[in-house]
Amino acid sequence: MARSITVLNLGKISYRAAWQVQRSLLQAHRNDSKNEKSFLSEQHPGDVLIICEHEPVYTVGIREREYSQDEERLKALGADFVRTDRGGLITFHGPGQLVGYPVINLKNYSLGLRKYVSSLEKVLIKTCEMFGLQGKTTKDTGVWIDERKIAAIGISCKRYITQHGVSLNCDNDLSWFDHVIPCGIKGKGVTSLSQELGRKVSLQETEPLFLNSFCDVFGCTLAADEKLAENIFLKADFIS
């Protein structure tokens, strides 16, 4: 029987607020009485896939010592800069880029971390295929169209519950990537669905295809949960 995952569309939301939502969902997953209950615990949200869009922000993973010199320089460009606990090096999120954060219990899918990451790559490749694009994976994690990176992946896992996720360039301004070596991979460029197809491909057009691909790869069904979304927007004091 297919597992059900709740889709939570947070719209345009700051990176920090979206991360806080993930942490609240993570806490709600834990039945460990030692942990503080999150404001979402009463609702038993189960597995959730967050879809959203961010204002310009550069984020780094746990190997962040390499970027200690970059913070001020990047903030001066008008972006936020956040140090996170995910894997992967530096990346950029901004308007026009689809961001997906699955907060799921890997035990429900019998997936180890490596297989989970590869499943996310498959979701992104399937989404690109729906636009007639041939995405591929290489030894560098992420999804590529030839030598151009179209989607990035960086996640963390705490006692089987996942955090962070993927980003897929739809019609975002790619010049923000000029200021960094994306994901630490030198000599390779970035691209977007719009750039590859020579027409505007919006986040709104991409989202249903991404969700379909996610269902296919993870063997799940997706359903919205109005009450959960309401709860978050009404009760979360970290969302302005």
Partner 1 sequence: MNKLLSEMRFTEEHEWVRQEGSTPHVTVGITDYAQDSLGDIVFVELPEVGSQVVEKDSIGAIESVKAVSDVYCPASGTVTEVNTELESTPEVVNTSPLEDGWLFKMELADVSSLDTLLTEKEYKDYLHGLE
153 belongs to the binding site for partner 1 (CB under 8 A): yes
102 belongs to the binding site for partner 1 (CB under 8 A): no
* Cα dist from 45 to 8, 34, 37, whole Å: 10, 19, 13
Stretch that binds partner 1, among 46-54, 79-87, 192-200, 205-213 (CB under 8 A): 79-87
Say how far residue 76 (Cα) sits from the centre of its chain.
25
Nearest to 132 by CA among 188, 190, 189, 198: 198
Question: Is 183 a catalytic site residue?
Answer: yes
Under the phi-then-psi rule, with left for phi > 0, alpha for psi from -120 to 50, and beta for the rest, what region is 38? beta
Q: 127: part of which helix (H) or strand (E)? A: helix 113-129
116 belongs to the binding site for partner 1 (CB under 8 A): yes
Helices and strands counted in the chain (H then E): 6, 11
156 belongs to the binding site for partner 1 (CB under 8 A): yes
Rounded CA separation 159/108 (Å): 13
Q: Which letter does DSSP use for residue 99 in this model?
A: E
Cβ distance to partner 1 smaller for residue 32 or 237 = 32
Chosen residue from 6, 38, 127, 141 binding partner 1 by CB under 8 A:
141
Chosen residue from 37, 42, 73, 112 binding partner 1 by CB under 8 A:
112
Stretch that binds partner 1, among 5-13, 23-31, 112-120, 224-232 (CB under 8 A): 112-120
Rounded CA separation 177/195 (Å): 14
Residue count, binding to partner 1 (CB under 8 A)? 25
Stretch that binds partner 1, among 48-56, 150-158, 186-194, 226-234 (CB under 8 A): 150-158
65 belongs to the binding site for partner 1 (CB under 8 A): no
Say how far residue 6 (Cα) sits from the centre of its chain.
15
* CA atoms within a 13 Å half-sphere pointing along the CA-CB vector of 231: 16
Q: Which of 157, 170, 183, 220 is catalytic?
A: 183
Q: Considering the complex, what minimum distance in angstroms separates the CB of residue 230 from partner 1?
A: 31
Catalytic positions are 183
Interacting residue ranges for partner 1, rule: CB under 8 A: 34, 61-63, 85-88, 107, 110, 112-117, 141-142, 153-159
